[in-house]
Structure 1
């Protein structure tokens, strides 16, 4: 029992109660977020749309997501994390019901774009709230658990979606709306506002080069002109492009190798199973290592995994490569999220998150657009290009690590030794290591 208890403490111990309610909200939301996975099928089968029109509507959803990420970041810093989360989830639930009942294709397209906006709004607020309440030394395990919940929810959603879609598309949208509403109720019931009050948080003097000269109230422009942060975002974009290969280019390559769609499903399922079963063991592997080194190793593993597809022509080879790149993505998740949080000045946490999250819709556009051309003209050599890009990003993490670490140290000094503001009602972690009557905790 002692080793099991030690593993639990290292993986999930000493996290605030509010974090677990947020974690439950993420899990419920992702487990029920399956309607948009079947949007193109719904449009073509139930509404008689052409494949081209269905693609445009799905594209409108993706474009709305890019807008929603930025909007969510700004609102989470201005309104607050809780207000943004509640607003986004309640509007999403209503839009899902409207989609379920809509018949006109133009209306469905407009509603899909709006769903894209509100679906993406919570992401910056969720992460900013976690940073607000979890002391720095525990954030790695918090982000690891967040990544695990997200993937576990997606795995559940994938299983439920197929069953519901076969039974009724109406049920698909209505159950999605119900799960979203359940998430909103959990947040309304148990999650207090974590955004610090101006009176409690002194004005932060940003490190040199972070804020535009003369800007007394730095906003989204600060994140968009922060060179060190944008370098990190660029490296994350490369990682996202590599990850997107599994859902965009790899199915085409497997079809060219004569493999059935079921083979592709097996490869994807293997990756999901590895994350669900193994992600909880990641903190013990990486907690005492430099984040830049962990990211270099993880990106290198992903590069090797995708690069190996140059020689793949059998299912067994694809499965072996999937193990390698999935392990890389598992190692990358916690430090990626923590560096993103560490680089953000406290008053701009959600805005920085929103810029960071833009990498994913951008990658979802670039990966299939350029990847399709590359696969057509280069054939299997496409995977050499992907692997080479990943190895360059791994070297980039090693080179960018020291400046990132100096920036984080400067921010810690400027904000008072890593203070983070938490709600007064937040209970102390198990064991009573920290008092409950302090509004300022030292990370």
Structure 2
């Protein structure tokens, strides 16, 4: 056990642990999105359609945020972008918590989505910057573990806070966001240029840098596969609770079943790096897609809480294989000088999937039936797995061509 712990956590730079700590604290207070729909319908008198519109507007802001956040991460710097986005998020959380007018809530939702998800590209880019290539799988696994550990506790704490006062959800979420900003401000400095770094001409202009990303066919195939895979994965948020409700299961049962996802990740994710070490990433991503497809496909025959729980455990295993492999690969496919833009476009794929998953899922469920939706998810996941096998060699050649000759030095730490 001591050897496993050392292999899993040892040798990572101090800056990584500051970022990791900020992630954990922030996720422990990530209350608002969990209970947003309930808050809007019970406290603010929104209809279900209006509440869905507000959440959709959050997604619109998110799509813009990840794009702009990626550009700013390259041009302005990772650290100032992270600090500004966190402070903006905290301010908007308080704003939407105190807002009463419906139009004000809708407008604030767009801005909140923008600032909240503008964090993602600079954070991911800084993780790649400060962690040597050989340790990135471990680093992203640890960070993913922290996200799920924090989220698991947040779901419980949010329920307790909501019983006392819904406003408390927004206040605590804003406070933990500000604490994360303070950690970055006090303990992290921006990355230095790696040795041998040559600034490309297209990095000087945001539009030119984004054109470089969108002209990278190898990368765009990877992004497209992620959109398809994410559309399958996100059905657990949009269509799974509806399917369980049609089988006569209470919303609390859905909460208990979906909690198994976080529990399995918390207890099993840290063993993934040793399992994946030395294995083909393309084969790993393909296997992850097949396992997720199997889990969601079996939902077609589930009808009891136990069977739904089994399906959740199956697709969670695929998620555990997919996430760290995805994160390390995107870092290696992005040139150092426009890495933030690459992270932004990749994050955009999640925003696109977040919009398409409930729309298409609801359409298929309504017009073709429950079984057609889940069997369709299995088919899409199989296509994604085949896509990873076919496109994998080109990705690995691109990653090898972009591999830096020397390890990126760690940024200086603030005194």
TM-score using structure 1 length: 0.89
1:267/1:7 Cα in 2 relative to 1: closer, same or farther (>3 Å)?
same
Partner residue, 1:95: 92
- Aligned counterpart in structure 2 of residue 70 of structure 1, from 42, 67, 72: 67
What is aligned with 2:198? 202
2:33 corresponds to 1:42: no
2:132 corresponds to: 135
Give the match for residue 262 of structure 1.
252
- Deviation (angstroms), 1:418: 4.8
Q: Is the 8 A contact 1:80 1:195 kept in 2?
A: no
Indicate how the Cα distance of structure 1 residues 101 and 255 shifts in structure 2: closer, same or farther if over 3 A, else same. Answer: closer
Query: CA 1:160–1:409 in structure 2 vs 1: closer, same or farther (change >3 Å)?
Result: same
Equivalent pair of 1:129/1:195 in contact (CA under 8 Å):
no
The answer to whether the 8 Å contact 1:32/1:179 transfers is: yes
Partner of 1:439 in structure 2?
Answer: none
* Structure 1: gaps of 5 or more residues: 206-210, 428-443
Q: Which of these residues, 147, 152, 162, is aligned with residue 150 of structure 1?
A: 147
Q: 1:37 to 1:327 in 2, by over 3 A?
A: same
CA distance, structure 2, for counterparts of residue 147 and residue 396 of structure 1:
24
**Whole-angstrom distance in 2 between the partners of 1:119 and 1:151:** 17
Q: CA deviation at 1:216?
A: 12
Deviation of the 1:167 alpha carbon: 0.8
State the SS of the aligned residue for 1:87: helix
Q: Is the 8 A contact 2:137 2:324 kept in 1?
A: yes
Q: Structure 1 residue runs of 4+, over 4 Å off?
A: 215-218, 424-427
Which of 373, 377, 395 in structure 2 is aligned with 1:386?
377
Change in CA separation of 1:40 and 1:263 when aligned onto 2, cut-off 3 Å: closer
Relative distance call for 1:171 and 1:409 in structure 2 (3 A) is same
Q: What does 1:221-370 correspond to in 2, within 5 Å?
A: 221-370=211-360
Q: How does 1:105-144 map to 2 (within 5 A)?
A: 105-144=102-141
Q: Does 1:172 align with 2:169?
A: yes
Query: In structure 1, what is the Cα distance between the partners aligned to 2:35 and 2:207?
Result: 43
Unaligned runs of 5+ in 2: none
Number of the residue aligned with 1:440 = none
CA shift at 1:391, angstroms?
0.8
Compared with structure 1, are the counterparts of its residues 313 and 188 closer, same or farther at alpha carbon in structure 2 (3 Å cutoff)? same
Give yes or no for contact 1:10–1:283 (8 Å, CA) kept in 2.
no
CA contact (8 A) 1:42 1:169 kept: yes
Q: If the length of structure 2 is used for normalisation, what is the TM-score?
A: 0.95
- Given that residues 81 and 195 in structure 1 are in contact (C-alpha distance below 8 angstroms), is that contact kept between their aligned partners in structure 2? no
Query: Offset of 1:304 from its aligned partner?
Result: 0.9
Bigger Cα displacement from structure 2, 101-110 vs 334-343: 101-110
Higher-Rg structure is 1
Displacement of 1:48 in angstroms is 2.4
Q: Deviation at 1:306?
A: 1.0
Cα deviation code 1:113-158 (max 9, x no counterpart): 1111100011111110011111000000001011111111111211
Alpha-carbon distance between aligned partners in 2 of 1:423 and 1:357, rounded to the nearest angstrom: 24
Q: CA RMSD in A?
A: 2.2
Q: 1:8: which partner in 2?
A: 5
**Structure 1 pair 402/248, CA: closer, same or farther in 2 (3 Å)?**
same
What is the aligned partner in structure 2 of residue 422 from structure 1? 410
Structure ranking higher in helix proportion: 2
Corresponding residue pairs, total: 414
Kept in 2: contact 1:31–1:156 (CA 8 A): yes
In structure 2, relative to structure 1, the CA distance for the partners of 1:376 and 1:44 (3 Å cut) is closer
Deviations 1:349-400 (A, max 9, x none): 1110010011212111111111112122332132111101101111111111
Contact 1:16/1:426 (8 A) holds in 2: no
- In the alignment, is the contact (CA less than 8 A) between 1:18 and 1:426 conserved in 2? no
Q: Which residue of 2 aligns with 1:430?
A: none
Equivalence for 1:186: 183
In 2: Cα distance, 1:216 partner to 1:150 partner: 30
Does 2:58 align with 1:61? yes
Moved more, 188-197 or 145-154: 188-197
8 Å CA contact 2:79, 2:190 repeated in 1: yes
Cα deviation for residue 97 of structure 1 reads: 2.1
| Cα distance in 1 for residues equivalent to 2:347 and 2:363 | 26
